[in-house]
Amino acid sequence: MNTIRLNITLPEELARQLDNLAGPKKKSHFIAETLKQRIEKIQNGELRVLLEEGYKSAKQESLDIVREFECVDLEPSYP
């Protein structure tokens, strides 16, 4: 995996917590993994919203089709 160097600024307390959790030599890996998880969570949330919108749209379309053929469905069937 190719990497690039970033210069970021963090609140002092957050930087201390990062040091405590990740250790001084593993901060980059910790930050990369955390960002990856956060990005996936955001993308999954956006996908969920799109799917919900699609289901709502399909629901209305299905109801319209049912209404359109309702009179045919209610006709008695003959052998």
Q: What are the pLDDT digits (tens) for 12-67? A: 999 999 999 998 889 999 999 999 999 999 898 888 888 888 888 788 888 888 88
- Report pLDDT for 66: 82
**Structure letter (DSSP) for residue 76:** P
**Global confidence as pTM:** 0.59
Tokens in use for 33?
């993994």
**Nearest one of 20, 25, 28, 4 to 12, comparing CA atoms:** 20
Check residue 68 and give its pLDDT. 83
As a three-state string, the secondary structure of 10-71 is CCHHHHHHHHHHHCCCCHHHHHHHHHHHHHHHHHHHHHHHHHHHHHHHHHHHHHHHHHHCHH
